[in-house]
Amino acid sequence: MFEVPFGTGMVLWSNRAAGALIVLLGLVFGIVNGVRFEVYSGHGKCISEEIKAHSMTVGKYSIVNPIEGQPLPDDYRVTVKVTSPHGNNYHNGNHVSSGNFAFTATESGDYSTCFYLYDRKPPRATLIEFEWKTGVAATDWSGVAKKEHLDAVQVELKKLYHTVISIHDEMFYLREREREMQNLNKSTDSKMISFGYLSLLICLSVAGLQFWHLKTYFERKKLV
């Protein structure tokens, strides 16, 4: 436990609650932002993001020019695929130097963005810049302000309102995931108990057969 002063009183937070809050804020505001990584020729690399159903997600990617100030060479290209937990394809960029995607998730789970480079000799590493946002962070607030004729304060209030709604939805989503995990644990425990009883029954049966075989053998040899 640790204490956080608040006015004249003290607010107590548990480590579990603080950890849950961090995870919750991460889910609401998006996790991946401005990532840079290398992909080698003939190989691929995938980045996954857990997205709940009906959430907006946007992403953009580009190859970092190895020679600053010069045009990107024609042979610097990458193939990009974005897939859902069930394998549905949401974006397919074939042999491109940059691109972007945006969609509303229709199913909850881990969505994957995979980058592939064609094999070449000699092999080399290509630096890729990737930005992926989900939830409130994926909303184009400048576009919302222009469309609804809102000033800066109204935009911030609207952003906070949607943030609160997202946190509320995420809390129910996490609660549902926790319930699913509890059911899975109960099912696993039940199966392990059943397997334990079955193993014990098999061991006792084998022991009984061995005893019967030895008894029959000794009686046949007239040793008992």
pLDDT by residue (tens digit) across 190-217? 999 999 999 999 999 999 999 898 888 7
Residue 130: the pLDDT is 94
- What is the SS3 assignment for 15? helix
Per residue in 42-62, pLDDT tens?
899 999 988 888 888 889 999
Report the alpha-carbon distance of residue 46 to residue 116 in Å, rounded: 9
Binned at pLDDT 50, 70 and 90, residue 165 comes out as: confident
Query: What count of other Cβ atoms lies within 10 Å of the Cβ of residue 61?
Result: 23
Q: Is the pLDDT of residue 138 over 90?
A: no
DSSP state at residue 124: -
Per residue in 178-187, pLDDT tens?
998 999 999 9
CA-closest candidate to residue 170, choices 29, 58, 49? 29
**60 strand-pairing partners:** 100, 131
> Quick check: pTM over 0.85?
no
Per residue in 68-105, pLDDT tens?
878 888 888 999 999 999 999 999 999 899 999 999 88
